[in-house]
Amino acid sequence: MLRKARIGDVKTIHKMINVSASKEEILPRSLMDIYGSLRDFFVYYDEEERLIVGICAMSIIWENLAEVRSLYVDEAFRRRGIGRILVEACISEAITLELFRIFTLTYKREFFQQVGFHAVDRSSLSEKIWTDCFRCPKYPDYCDETAMIIEL
């Protein structure tokens, strides 16, 4: 079941992000950062297992730009369409807010292509996106994420 994240979900979201970050799939985020951006998150809750199995956030970057970030689906639940459901929920929320340019920085290029994103040169995106990049140990010379965008 897809739903917006709740305060009781923060520690689970934090754990999931750090599991994914340890595999170098996404960047780590602090507990404080997650509390501060909780309203950005959707979670996918598996009612049968009674646990959150997927997360994704949509962050507003600027008046005409949003970011889909922190997408993670527990490995045991992958290939069931949960990632697509989470990303589409973020896109839908961006559209509701009249944000029609949505980007992501990802290692999962093929997945995001299937959802409608296409690769772009990261320099084509506003400097506003670099807030997290400046904190990354791979910045600036070793970044291996692909910048992708969907324009609606």
* pLDDT over 60 (residue 143): yes
Looking up residue 98, the CATH number of its domain turns out to be 3.40.630.30
pLDDT in tens, 121-135: 877 776 556 566 555
Q: What pLDDT score does 122 carry?
A: 79
Residue 68: the pLDDT is: 97
Whether the pLDDT of residue 30 is over 90: the answer is yes
How many domains is the chain partitioned into structurally?
1
What secondary structure letter does DSSP report for 108?
-
pLDDT at 28: 87
What pLDDT, in 10s, does the model give residues 61-93? Answer: 888 899 999 999 999 999 999 999 999 999 999
Domain extent, residue 117, equals 2-151
Q: What is the DSSP letter of 81?
A: S
Find the mean pLDDT for residues 29-54. 96
**Prediction pTM value:** 0.90
Both structure tokens of 125: 């995106």
121 φ, ψ to 5°? -70, 125
